[in-house]
A and B are shown apart, each in its own frame.
Chain A
Amino acid sequence: MKIKLTFWKIVFLVIMALGLYSTFVRYYYGLGAISNMTDQFPWGLWIGFDCLCGVMLAAGGFCMIGAVYLFNVERLHSVVRPAVLTAFLGYLLFIVGLLFDLGRPWYIWHQLIYMNPHSVMFEVGMCVMAYTTVLFFEFLPNVLERFHLNAPIKWIKKIYPVLIVLGILLSTLHQSSLGSLYLIMPSKLHPFWYTPALPFLFFGSAIAVGLAMTIFESTQSAKAFGRHLELPVIVELGGALLVALWVNALLRFEDYFHRGMLGQIIKPSYEAYFLWLELTLAFVIPIAMLSFKKVRMSPQGLYLASIFTVLGFITNRLNIALTGFETYVGHHYLPKWTEFSVTLMIIAMGFALFGVAARYLPIFPEEEHAVQQSPRIEPGPVSVTAVLGHAGD
């Protein structure tokens, strides 16, 4: 077999090599050696990005399951499988991220025996554990179909209503609880981001990002795998995204209004710059874009708007986890390169696993008739790192 090295494959290999080196440093020399975390900054990039953002980026799974199976919107059916795959991978990688971040990851199972029901972290942990199990069963039919094991598929179909309700229930709980984690820090987190409304804001942003991620991955995999893009589906998701963004924007405005913060957020300050960046990326640009029907109807427009949304809400969560503590702590926190390299490795693993699953499992619907009707966006051979290969397009 001949393996052709493309630019993105080399990038992938470099990221994996650096990541493996960092993994060695993490488990051989400890957290102090690999990270810039300190007693003043006990939570760094890994909690901010791998955990807070990772779970948000995986929200597409429960959003699409909710739309298609709970509300029975049959016409969105084609995006459910990729969304569930993304969610399943997202949660598995979230757990991988935790194994790096926890000081004593070998005791992670203590969660199951020494329970503290007062702890938000306990609730998040239990929900994530249970939801990953639910996602496993929602994902399993892909594998079973591949090997033509029809009997177990029938069993799973029987419990599907339970899985769906359970999955959405667990998602509601832990997506919002990630915000509740910060409720105990009123004296530390900057008032731009500390609000009793945090659980609601986290749930709201999860839905917006879930929709945006589904648009992103549909368009992206159409490009990467040379598939036909189902435009009506992502146009409909784009409309829903616009509504979700307005609801989120309104929630944020109401929150600042009721806390009398409107005067402060427009005054220039270190935190205000980050807040403006976040609000511009998450609300101003995508809402402005999607308000034009022309943009809302075009794959490129929707693709760009979804990227801005995702970047905006990532900025939002990093602001909560990192920027919002800098004034209190009195100094800046910049992750060490090894922290970045672990995060990059986890993201790269996500892209690669998505590529493998998309290649070997029936993730995308059969499209014999569709192919004849409309030209493929970008034909090309599918490879293990095909998705990665187009990540920068």
Chain B
Amino acid sequence: MSKALLYDATMCIGCKQCEGACAQQNKLPYDDKVAAESVQSAHKYTVVMTKDDKFMRRLCMHCEHPACASVCPVGAFHKTAAGPVVYDVWKCIGCRYCMVACAFNQPKYEWQSLNPRVRKCIMCPDRIASGKPTACAEICPTGATKFGERDDLIQEAQQRISQSPSTYLPRIYGLHEVGGTSVLILSSKKVEEYGYPSSERVGETPMPEYTGRVMEKIPDFIPVWALVLGGVYWVSHRRDEVAAAEAEQKNGNNRNGGAK
């Protein structure tokens, strides 16, 4: 069973306490200036956005099949059994493939650093391991961000939609997107208006499958192609050898003939 976060935008009051708690948890700077920033960055893993008095949170979606983990050449990302997609900085070589591969643009980079790290929400894996909810869920005064088992949260989200269908759009963002995510979003406004990619755009196929379809053929391709190339080499050079041998034989015959 894996953990997840359910964010219900209709319950959010925009207090940004989740931002502060996240910064504290991850030892990031947080003051009024950072609070006013409306975009995520290397020092702001989560952001609460405002549009027409409605709020929306953004954070790493913690995909069930994360693209970042599949593309990283040194395996610096992996999805833990508990749900979080975590980052091992000591492995990272800084190729930034995770950043271009992520459909939600979550990994951010320390562009000003000389030993830069990729930064994103890691869903408080240490807190989860000790049985606590994430920092953002714990501090949320209204329960807009709720921590729990993914399956339970899906059930609860479905219940909320069916109980007040006029409040919610009839969808749980993250339920099927890119094969499902560990962050689920309920809202009355389309999440796309806040910069989330549309469901149609990202599709329901787990991202790693796009490259996996090609990568899985490579172990078969290598021996077959090596054999073909070796075969071509053998044939094209064999022709020369045969020609040379025949020429020699001919020469030999001529010489023999001449000696008679």
A residues apposed to B, CB below 8 Å: 27-33, 37-40, 42-43, 69-72, 101-105, 107-108, 110-111, 114-123, 125, 161, 164-166, 168-169, 172-173, 177, 180-181, 183-188, 196, 199
Contacts and interface: CB of A to CB of B under 8 A. Distances in A.
Given A104-B93, A121-B97, A181-B97, A114 B76 contact: yes
B72 interface: yes
A118 B229 contact: no
Contacts of B36: none
Contacts of A33: 112
Contact of B215 (A30, A37, A108, A123): A123
19 contacts: A27-B114, A32-B111, A39-B111, A42-B100, A43-B100, A69-B233, A104-B92, A104-B116, A110-B91, A116-B75, A118-B211, A118-B215, A122-B74, A169-B222, A181-B97, A183-B210, A185-B100, A186-B210, A187-B103
Interface secondary structure of A, over-half rule: helix
Nearest to A194: B210
Interface string B42-84: 1000000000000000000000000100111111100000000
Nearest to B214: A180
B10 interface: no
Nearest to A110: B74
Given A71-B232, A187-B203, A114 B103 contact: no
Given A70-B229, A161-B230, 20 more contacts: A27-B114, A29-B114, A30-B114, A39-B99, A70-B233, A103-B94, A104-B92, A107-B93, A108-B93, A114-B74, A116-B70, A116-B72, A118-B70, A119-B73, A121-B97, A164-B229, A164-B233, A180-B211, A180-B215, A183-B210
B17 interface: no
Question: Which 6 residue pairs spanning A and B have beta carbons closest together?
Answer: A103-B94, A32-B111, A116-B75, A72-B236, A42-B99, A122-B73
B94 A105 contact: yes
Max count, chain A CB within 10 A of own CB: residue among B76, B108, B225, B229: B229
Interface in B181-210: 197, 201-203, 207-208, 210
Given A30-B116, A115-B75, A164-B233, A121 B111 contact: no
B178 to A, nearest CB: 9
A191 B70 CA distance: 23
B230 A165 contact: yes
A118 B101 CA distance: 13
Contacts of A32: 111-112
B95 interface: yes
A107 B233 contact: no
A78 to B, nearest CB: 18
A184 B207 contact: yes
Given A30-B116, A104-B94, A118 B208 contact: yes
B115 interface: yes
A39 B97 contact: no
B237 A72 contact: yes
A370 to B, nearest CB: 24
A102 B197 contact: no
Contacts of A117: 215
Contact of A184 (B67, B108, B221, B233): B67
B197 A187 contact: yes
A199 B103 CA distance: 21
A105 B218 contact: no
Given A71-B236, A185-B100, A30 B208 contact: no
A307 B190 CA distance: 50
A103 B75 contact: no
Contacts of A38: 111
A120 to B, nearest CB: 5
Contacts of A164: 229, 233
Contacts of B222: 169, 173
Given A30-B114, A103-B94, A125 B73 contact: yes
A119 B69 CA distance: 9
A30 B111 contact: yes
B70 to A, nearest CB: 5
Given A107-B92, A169-B226, A184-B211, A121 B233 contact: no
A304 B97 CA distance: 36
Contacts of B70: 116, 118-119, 184
Contacts of B218: 123, 173
A70 B92 CA distance: 39
A323 to B, nearest CB: 15
B219 to A, nearest CB: 9
A161 B241 CA distance: 15
Nearest to B222: A169
Contact of B93 (A110, A161, A181, A196): A110
B229 A169 contact: yes
Nearest to A330: B195
B74 A111 contact: yes
Contact of B116 (A31, A43, A123, A199): A31
B32 interface: no
A110 B94 CA distance: 11
A188 B178 CA distance: 14
Nearest to B208: A118
Contacts of B229: 70, 164-165, 168-169
A30 B211 contact: no
A39 B240 CA distance: 58
A121 B214 CA distance: 13
Nearest to B178: A187
B165 interface: no
B225 to A, nearest CB: 6
A188 B6 CA distance: 26
Contacts of B207: 184
A120 B211 contact: yes
A51 B97 CA distance: 13
Given A70-B229, A119-B73, A184 B197 contact: no
B260 interface: no
Given A43-B96, A116-B73, A119-B70, A184 B105 contact: no
